Amino acid sequence: MKVLKDCTKGSGHLLQANNVTDSRIRALVAGGCASLIGQTIIVPIDVISQHLMMVGQKVDGVAKNMKPSIQNGAGKSKTQLALAITKDIYHIDGLRGFYRGYIASLFTYVPSSALWWTFYHLYQDHLNNLFPSWFPHLGIQCTSAILGGLTTTTLINPLDIVRARLQVQRLDSIGQTFRILWREERFYTFTKGLTARLIMSTFYSFSIILGYESVKRWSVKEQYREQIRW
């Protein structure tokens, strides 16, 4: 997460240096670039964690590919299971297996990050005009983050389902996964797992901005602290 925030901040400064003054455009581009870098690092970890979550479950495409000793998970600690899954993925697919669903992850998380930061600034601009001047600015920012997270999660949810299916079930392509989901779920594809994702997004968005904006305020030099609006 620190990598993503540093990349977002760096991209934002670069755009500002090139006279891009609209904060929403800077947030859109910077958020997308940060997610592109972040997913390159995170996808292999995500692939392993997805398989860990499916251990012991009878799911087509997983049980027939994973070794029985891994699928049952009997007598193994989480660390041993993670190592066994890592070896099994490498044995079946090579290094390519750790980036299964990478394109789908980019299609999911690059727009998700870009939209999240864009909506965060958009909601913040509107709420600043709605709330009185005495209302804590940090409260406005946290509220904007939650609203931005809820909006983004609702829009991106179908892509997130496709990403998860690709990584866990070893399907061949994004198109094939969409066709299977449409055949199985129809319009339920757009709402499948949405409630859980919205709850997670609420806590995630609130905690990230509460920490991020608080650290920014605490990091301001002493002579400028009186100018900061909490």
Output the pLDDT for position 35.
Answer: 73
Question: Among residues 196, 215, 208, which one has the least CA distance to residue 144?
Answer: 208
Residue partners of 108: CB distance under 8 A and separation at least 6: 156, 159, 160, 162, 163
How far out from the chain centre does Cα 30 lie?
15
- Rounded Cα–Cα distance for residues 14 and 27 (Å): 12
CA distances from 85 to 88, 99, 198 (A): 5, 14, 29
Q: Is the pLDDT of residue 67 over 60?
A: no
Q: Is the pLDDT of residue 150 over 90?
A: yes
Question: Among residues 154, 147, 122, which one has the least CA distance to residue 205?
Answer: 147
pLDDT tens, residue by residue, 90-147 = 888 788 778 776 777 777 778 888 889 889 989 998 998 898 888 888 999 999 999 9
Residues 145-150: what's their mean pLDDT?
94
Output the pLDDT for position 228.
Answer: 65
Regarding predicted confidence, which is higher, 210 or 221? 210
Regarding predicted confidence, which is higher, 12 or 77? 77
Output the pLDDT for position 46.
Answer: 79
CATH number for the domain spanning 124: value is 1.50.40.10
Token pair, residue 187, equals: 């319009």
Q: Are 208 and 1 in contact (CB under 8 A)?
A: yes
Amino acid at 26: R
Q: Is the pLDDT of residue 30 over 80?
A: no
pLDDT tier at 206, thresholds 50, 70, 90? very high
pLDDT tens, residue by residue, 172-204 = 677 777 788 878 878 777 778 788 889 999 999
Q: Residues of the chain with pLDDT > 90: what percent? A: 14
SS3 annotation, the chain: CHHHHHHHHHHHHHHHHCCCCCHHHHHHHHHHHHHHHHHHHHHHHHHHHHHHHHCCCCCCCCCCCCCHHHHHCCCCCHHHHHHHHHHHHHHHHHHHHHHCCHHHHHHHHHHHHHHHHHHHHHHHHHHHHHCCCCCCHHHHHHHHHHHHHHHHHHHHHHHHHHHHHHHHHCCCCHHHHHHHHHHHHHHHHHCCCHHHHHHHHHHHHHHHHHHHHHHHHHCCCHHHHHHCCC
pLDDT tier at 148, thresholds 50, 70, 90? very high
Question: Could you tell me the residue range of the domain that residue 178 belongs to?
Answer: 2-227
As for how many domains the chain has, the answer is 1
Output the pLDDT for position 141.
Answer: 92
- Rounded Cα–Cα distance for residues 160 and 201 (Å): 13
